[in-house]
Structure 1
Amino acid sequence: MEQRIGSKSQPLDAAAVDPAYVPGLTSPVPAEPAEAVEDAEAEAEEVAAEEAAPEEAASEQEDTEGEPEAEASEESEESEEVEEAETDPDGPVFEASDRRASIKADHSGVQLRLDDQQAEFRWDEIGAVETESPRFGKRFTITVHTPDRRWYPIEIEAASRARFKDWENQLDAVLDAYFEEETDGDDDAE
């Protein structure tokens, strides 16, 4: 499914305009002047030196006082616990994958992957999630719709058609837990 906005006419093939055109090849990027490269390297060294200075001062201060060291370790343990809680909630998680594609829906949103391409959507970026089971075949389609009228379909090949029902139920549980649809009262207020 292609999403096109504007004219329905097909663009000219590049080979019709440029006989040297070879599909898949990109034009070479012009080299940056040596001065620009040197300036960028100098800026990177300055930033690294500025970042290292506060760390050295903090380590000297911790060596002189024993209590801040204990407090720092407690704070780091607490931050690790918060990160673990964010990455591993108690709520439902839906995961499905095959050799090329995968989908994961959890508390943070929906992540789609196809080969080397990946798209991540937070729950507030999603307008709807649609599933489709084919009448024949074993390709389960999940489409994520965004509020700006874009859609992102992904097909997962199941080992058997019986998996479709399980996947539907698991995805429904995640959507019920995390996805909040706008109520009719919000539409009336506008």
Structure 2
Amino acid sequence: MDQRIGSSSQPVKGEPVMGAGFDPAFIPGITAQAAGPEAEDAKPTEEAGRPVPEPAGEPEPEAAARTAEAPAEPEEEPEEEPEAVKDGPVFEVSDRRARFAADHRGVRLSLDEESCEFRWNEIAAVETESPRFGKRFTITVHTPDRRWYPIEIEAAARARFKEWESELDAVLDAYFEEA
């Protein structure tokens, strides 16, 4: 007698595979849907008995004339802000693994090799939490789409927590505007 371990439901053939029920790495809006094995191997050869035309090696003369007439636009380079220090408060804390920085550009979090950056208009709230025991100070950045990004910084002493909260409050008062 054979027993199957796991779900016996299979996706219907021809239906797109959706959701974490079939792909645990699927995140709507971020990752692409997984294509079935038949979609990866399939090449457009013949549809309904008609051969698929091969793409021509040379472009059509009309398309070449249109591209020749159009002025070449220079490629836009991403706007880099000069690293000049602006007048205003800056808050930076870090430990051996984590780092939190807030200044005129926004908020930057990093943990080991992972990092993320938020401009001030992308932030809904910034929350701090001091534990009753221990030396790990938690800063959580909330976004308008109801996501949150916590980071824990280990302090050398618990006395640093009040100092960090007052420095962060000064930065938030200067740059963060509630909508």
Asked if Structure 1 and Structure 2 have the same fold, meaning a TM-score greater than 0.5 normalized by the shorter chain, the answer is yes
Aligned to 1:122: 119
1:1-190 map, 5 Å: 83-85=82-84, 88-182=85-179
**Helix, strand or coil for the counterpart of 2:146?**
coil
Identity over aligned pairs, percent: 74
Q: Deviations over 1:57-112 (max 9, x none)?
A: xxxxxxxxxxxxxxxxxxxxxxxxx8243xx1110000000000000000000000
Question: Matched residues in 2 for 1:153 and 1:110: separation?
Answer: 12
1:181 CA displacement: 0.6
Question: What is the distance in 2 between the residues matched to 1:136 and 1:113?
Answer: 24
Counterpart of 1:174 in structure 2: which amino acid? V
RMSD: 2.8
Matched residue type, 1:163? R
Give the partner amino acid of 1:178.
Answer: Y
- The count of corresponding residues between Structure 1 and Structure 2 is 108
| Equivalent AA in structure 2 for residue 175 of structure 1 | L
Give the unaligned 5+ runs of structure 2.
Answer: 1-18, 25-73, 75-80
Provide the TM-score with structure 1 as the length reference: 0.52
Normalised by the size of structure 2, how large is the TM-score? 0.55
The structure where helix makes up a greater share of residues is 1
CA–CA distance in 1 between the matches of 2:21 and 2:131? Answer: 31
